[in-house]
Amino acid sequence: MLETSVEDFVSRFEADAAEGQLYPQPEGSPLMEFVSGGRTLYLFDRTGPYTAKPGAARVIVHGTFARFAKLPSVPEPLTKLAAVGISGMEGVGQITRLASRFTVVVQARLPLVLSSFTPLPELEAGEWLSFETQPPLHGFLAH
């Protein structure tokens, strides 16, 4: 299980929220448009309709792995992040913390909470991953 409730998820990962700018949501759209780390992300709004107000915001960006690979070494700090489709991404980032056997926090232009539906292999903070997420990315407003 990746989360027990929205409130629990926000409390567990609030420190890992990305800082950025939220743009107005079109009427009836479940997606938040969030700009952070020089990237525009379209996130499935998990904190409820109409709670995301335009302006400066802290948002927990959560994705599930479509694929990932531990990199043996990275010669220089090199983070990458690119959009894949409407609400997915691929990139390279450094693990900043291990949250559980299923979830890691990765710094890849912005902090990302990335999860797997199966237990992850042995990973350590400081290691580098290449990854691609399954759509949609989820967004949780942090307090």
Domain boundaries, the chain: 6-141
Query: Which H or E run contains 50?
Result: none
What is the CA angle 91-137-134, rounded to 5?
65
pLDDT < 70: residue spans in the chain: 1, 50, 75-77
Closest by CA to 25, choosing from 6, 60, 51, 47, is: 51
pLDDT tens figures, 34-50? 999 999 999 999 987 76
Q: In the numeric block, which tokens belong to residue 56?
A: 């400066």
Q: In the numeric block, which tokens belong to residue 107?
A: 């710094």
d(CA 143, CA 141): 7
- pTM across the whole model: 0.94
